[in-house]
Amino acid sequence: MIGVLLDVGDELYDGTSHKVTLIDSICVPNKRGGLAMKSPNRQPFSAESAESNAAQDIEIMRELDQRPPRSAKLVACIDFGSGPGGGDYRTYLLSTDRGRSGWSLWLMVSDYDTGKQIYCEAASGSPCRGYSAKYAAEQLLTKVLEDERDIGWADPPPWGVMEAGLLDADDIERIGTTVFAEDAL
């Protein structure tokens, strides 16, 4: 097994005037014969739902008057079920905080009274460093849907992905299967 340990803060000059800062990682063989980066000192990712039930109450969302940063990335726009009155469309966005120490999952819905988009923070997670945006989006969306399942606010799949972002239809289907697995209930 070949491994390379790179320490946080080590600096390497690439032969030019460019300085490269290395991160704490180990390069180890994977099952396919390639190499994978591992971080032995990485903190585990922790996801938490927002404290209020704002994500399910348009009135509370209006009062909170929250808005994600403009740099927020689209996670996915999901139709959680169509009915005679229309679908349950939710758009999720992902952002980091100003210090890049944590992630925020934002819910964007349409205010039925005004037609305007309204937002609220649905979940947060940390740390930010060492985790990809896609991984954070999967973990935070899973947490939100588990909590909504537990209080009866989310129905099991099938769900439709109206617009893919960091997560595509396969990712959303996998999350739905995991959240609503027989043993999860």
Same domain, 159 and 72: yes
Reported pTM: 0.72
Residue 154 CB-density burial (10 A; 0-12 exposed, 13-18 middle, 19+ buried): buried
**Cα–Cα nearest to 145, from 180, 98, 96:** 180
Same domain, 107 and 165: yes
Sheet hosting strand 117-126, strand order edge to edge? 46-49, 117-126, 103-110, 86-96, 73-83, 160-164
Q: Name the residue range of residue 29's domain.
A: 5-38
Same domain, 61 and 28: no
pLDDT digit string (tens) for the chain, length 185 residues = 444 444 444 444 444 444 444 444 455 566 666 655 555 567 888 888 775 555 557 777 778 778 999 999 999 999 988 665 567 889 999 999 888 889 999 999 888 888 889 999 999 999 988 999 999 999 999 999 998 898 888 888 889 999 999 999 999 999 999 999 965 55
Total number of domains constituting the chain: 2
Same domain, 26 and 110: no
Same domain, 113 and 31: no
Q: Are 39 and 28 in contact (CB under 8 A)?
A: no
Same domain, 50 and 137: yes
